[in-house]
Structure 1
Amino acid sequence: MTDRSRFSDESRLRPSYTDPFDEERKTQRIRVAFNASHSDQIPWSFVPEQREIYVLPGETALTFFKAHNPTNQDIIGIATYNVVPDRIAPYFAKIECFCFEEQKLLAGEEVDLPVFFFLDKEMLEDTDTRDVKDVMLSYTFFSARRNPVTGQLEPDTDLSKYRVGMDA
């Protein structure tokens, strides 16, 4: 989950138009592409509504994913996410995301699931991330069940078959 204290300084949420080391050089927009998948255990369709957007570091962006439960029964799902390249992950800040909570789709229901995010402009001061031009945000939905011991909601599938959260 995102550390919301990172947003207390509103200057972090302003686009960076120039390079912090060279005021003459304009900041390039970064392509953020979206991917959606689901485990075999959840019969939903799940797709990004946009394939990609271009953002400046510090600029907030809103995108949506669409989930549809075509079955005749209600299903609870939980989503995991991955950001690639992994070195950009500490700078990828989600302000609001459907992945923060379980999603219950009623039989036949279709919903739009929002992700409100920004790339922290501090990425421009990091030699490992300042030249990143492409980012991929991927989500995978899993059906969920309650753990009988802890009562926590957890994926109802064998996660070892999936590479969520692991770079290839």
Structure 2
Amino acid sequence: MQRAIVHRFASARTAARPSQLYPPLQRLPCLAARPSTLSRLAQRRFASTETNTAQSTLKRPAVTSESYQRAREARYKERNRSLLLYSAATILVVTAGSYLAVPLYRVFCSATGYGGTPQTDSSRFGPDRLIPRTDLDKRIRVTFNADASDSLPWSFEPQQKDVKVLPGETALAFYTATNHSDEDIIGIATYNVTPTNIAPYFAKVECFCFEEQRLLAGEEVDLPVFFFIDRDFVDDPLMKDVREVTLSYTFFRARRDSYGNLVPAEGPLAVANSVPAS
């Protein structure tokens, strides 16, 4: 009878479901799911993965060699365009600077006396600046020099060899220019003073330099220069040994640049070489 009871208990235990023997397993849906349900879930997940892969493939099309080449050429064209614009701007700035260099340099030298250029600032011509300094024991000798370019058929010379002045004392000198050709010619004169360190104190009230001088065929004209040496010359210790000054003029055939300004036809190098050494 005991064997019959044991056999019946074993049969009942074998026929019982796992969820009935172990109630906590009812809370785990993965274990409670049937095989058919698991199969459907796996198929659905696989189908979703294939769909995402297809959509990703559509969003990122394959890059062909032709499209890559077009993109590369577009980048090169943009880079070359930027380089071209930069080069054009640089050339424009350099060209404008070369045309404006001479007028700007001329203004700078006239205002500062740099490079032996006498000052022409009218603010220095007040009555208090034109009173001679009598405390200087010796007058300053100003000599005059004149030259004409080989391409200009003119004769050009000073009417006086030199004058002696005191600082603050005005002086008037004259040059004579003669056109020996059979045609009208426009000339332009450059000037310089030596020694160059006296240039800030050498002021010209009236001058024919850097102005159009038109001489008819065979014409002769007198050209005045009205100047003085500033009173502060005496107070400068660097000027204590300066007792002689040379004012030089050189005439060139004139031409007009692209801006309509009169400039020497020989160019800046010839103008620089015309300046006498200090």
Common fold, TM-score beyond 0.5? yes
Cross-structure match for 1:24 = none
In structure 2, how many angstroms separate the alpha carbons of the residues matched to 1:101 and 1:152? 10
What secondary structure is seen at the aligned counterpart in 2 of 1:160? helix
Give a deviation string over 1:41-86, Cα, whole Å, max 9, x none.
1110000000111111110000000000011111111100110000
Q: CA deviation at 1:100?
A: 4.6
Q: How far apart are the structure 2 equivalents of 1:82 and 1:164?
A: 9
Residue 153 of structure 1: which of 252, 258, 262 is its match?
Answer: 262
Under a length normalisation based on structure 1, what TM-score does the superposition of the two structures give? 0.89
- 1:19-168 alignment to 2 at 5 Å? 19=136, 27-147=137-257, 149-161=258-270, 162-165=272-275, 167-168=277-278
User: 1:72 is aligned with what amino acid?
Assistant: D
In the other structure, the counterpart of 2:30 is: none
Counterpart AA for 1:69: N
The gaps in structure 2 that reach 5 residues or longer are 1-109, 111-119
**Cα pair 2:182 2:218 within 8 Å, conserved:** yes
**5+ residue gaps in structure 1?**
20-26
Q: In the aligned structure 1, how far is the partner of 2:230 from the partner of 2:275?
A: 20
> How far did 1:165 drift?
4.4
Moved over 3 A (4+): 164-168
Asked if residue 7 in structure 1 is aligned to residue 125 in structure 2, the reply is yes
> Which residue matches 1:22?
none
Which one-letter code corresponds to 2:132 in the other structure? P
User: Relative contact order (alpha carbons < 8 A, sep ≥ 6): 1 or 2 greater?
Assistant: 1
Letter in 1 for 2:212: E
Structure 2 distance, partners of 1:72, 1:160, is 28
What is the CA distance between 1:121 and its match in structure 2? Answer: 1.4
| More strand by percentage | 1
3-state SS in 1 of match to 2:222:
strand
The structure with more radius of gyration: 2
Once residues 150 and 190 of structure 2 are traced to their aligned partners in structure 1, the CA distance between those partners, rounded to angstroms, is 15
Contact 1:82 1:164 in 2 (8 A): no
Q: SS of the residue aligned with 2:145?
A: strand
Shift of 1:134: 0.4
Structure 2 SS opposite 1:82: strand
CA distance in 1 between counterparts of 2:268 and 2:129 reads 35
Report the Cα offset of residue 129 of structure 1. Answer: 1.2
Between structures 1 and 2, the one with greater helix share: 2
The RMSD of aligned alpha carbons is 1.4
Alpha-carbon contact 1:81-1:164 (below 8 Å) kept: no
**CA shift for structure 1 position 158:** 3.5
